[in-house]
Amino acid sequence: MIELILIAAAYLLGSIPSGVWIGKAFFKTDIREQGSGNSGTTNTYRVLGKWAGTVVLVMDIAKGTLAVLLPLWFGVTIHPMIFGLFAIIGHVYPIFAGFKGGKAVATTAGVALGVQPLFVLVLIMVFAAILYTSSMVSLASVLTLIIAAGAALFVGDWVFTAIVWIAMILVVVRHRANIDRIRKGEENKVPFGLNQSD
């Protein structure tokens, strides 16, 4: 029974639409109607500035980490990544925001951080290197998740690996429009790194 409650809690935690709520509460702005239309860190940073973007990043990571740590604190023996998967699903399809959520990157990082912190720390460096080189968060996100899925074959158990693969597929699918823009040379860039727009 506690397992079912924690699975529901993980989904509800993941469903907290940080960007939407921060935008509406402090800026009277629906983040989904501006910029790329995404409710994640990058678009919040783009539209509402670095402080709002940072708060959304921390919240989106924290909800994933909390979803995998809660079952451990309750002594549940089911693999924590199962709860993490529900948090990721909540983030992408949030019940509190009309099932229109984010692109799964920060919450996936938060989930993996709670289970394999060293794995995530290495991947953050990979992400930073790709972001610095390309100035495109979307490219860094997609490539990092693909690298993570490959690396997960050698790190952690099969449940961890399987859920990282599911997350990678979700991230790629949610970045379809970004991938299209990257191919056309039209993707949004951040104002730093080697390839920033003029």
Instruction: Examine residue 79 and tell whether it contacts ligand G3P (CB under 6 A).
Output: no
Residue corresponding to tokens 């860190």: 41
Taking CB under 6 A as the criterion, the residue among 18, 42, 116, 134 binding ligand G3P is: 42
Q: At what angle do helices 158-174 and 176-184 cross, to 10 degrees?
A: 60
Instruction: Examine residue 138 and tell whether it contacts ligand G3P (CB under 6 A).
Output: yes
Q: In whole angstroms, how close is the CB of 99 to ligand G3P at the nearest point?
A: 18
Instruction: Examine residue 137 and tell whether it contacts ligand G3P (CB under 6 A).
Output: yes
Instruction: Examine residue 40 and tell whether it contacts ligand G3P (CB under 6 A).
Output: yes
Which residues in 43-62 contact ligand G3P (CB under 6 A)? 43
Write out the two tokens for 102: 């984010």
Read out DSSP for 81-126? Answer: HHHHHHHHHHHHS-GGGTT----SHHHHHHHHHHH-HHHHHHHHHH
Q: In whole angstroms, how close is the CB of 35 to ligand G3P at the nearest point?
A: 6
Measured from the Cβ of residue 198, the count of other Cβ atoms closer than 10 Å reads: 3
Q: In whole angstroms, how close is the CB of 36 to ligand G3P at the nearest point?
A: 3
Q: Which CB, 65 or 138, lies closer to ligand G3P?
A: 138
Contact predicate 177/147, CB 8 Å: no
Amino acid, single-letter form, for residue 77: T
Instruction: Examine residue 141 and tell whether it contacts ligand G3P (CB under 6 A).
Output: yes
Contact predicate 9/70, CB 8 Å: yes
In the shown chain, the binding pattern of residues 8 to 37 toward ligand G3P, with x for contact by CB under 6 A and - for none, equals ----------------------------x-
Instruction: Examine residue 103 and tell whether it contacts ligand G3P (CB under 6 A).
Output: yes
Q: Which 8-state DSSP code applies to residue 31?
A: G
Which residues would be at the binding site for ligand G3P (CB under 6 A)? 36, 38, 40, 42-43, 103, 105, 137-138, 141, 178, 188
